Structure 1
Amino acid sequence: MRFYGEHQHGKFECGPGAAGRNVSISEGHANRRIKVLTESGLLEQRNRTYIITDLGMRYVRGEMDEEELESLNPDTEE
C-alpha cells in the first residue's frame, strides 16, 4: 500500500511484478497481497495494472478509524 501511496502523482499505475520488485517481494506474493487490497477497496484494477483508491490514500495517511479498518478485512463475517 505504501508503495502505491508514496508514488501518487496523478494516479500512479503499476502491475504486481514491478510493485513486488520495488519492495523486494516476489511477484507471486505481490499478486496475493494486491488481490486482498483490491477486494478491500484500497486498490483498483485497471487492465493489468493497479491504482490506489481514495480509500487507499486515507489508509496510507492514517485517516481511518478502527471500525473502518476492521471492515476492510475480507475474511471478516458479519
Structure 2
Amino acid sequence: MTLPVPSPPAGSPLELGGKTALVTGAGAGIGRSIALVLATAGARVVAVGYDGQSARETAACIAGSGGGASSVA
C-alpha cells in the first residue's frame, strides 16, 4: 500500500532526527497520519496497533519513503 507522506510546513520547528517516536493507533486514521508526519520530521517510528497488518503497512510506507520504522501489534 502506498500512502502520501505529508511534509512539515516550510520553516517548521519540527526536527526529530535521532529521536524515536512510539505511536499508538498507527495502523489507521489520525495515528497513521501522526506516524507519517513524525517520520518526515526525521524520527524513527515504532508503529503500534491492535491490528498487526495495518501497523506493518504504516511501517512499510515509512520505510519505503526512506524513513526508519518498525511495528508492534
What TM-score results when the alignment is normalised by the length of structure 2?
0.30
What TM-score results when the alignment is normalised by the length of structure 1?
0.29
Q: Which has the larger share of strand?
A: 2
Larger Rg: 1
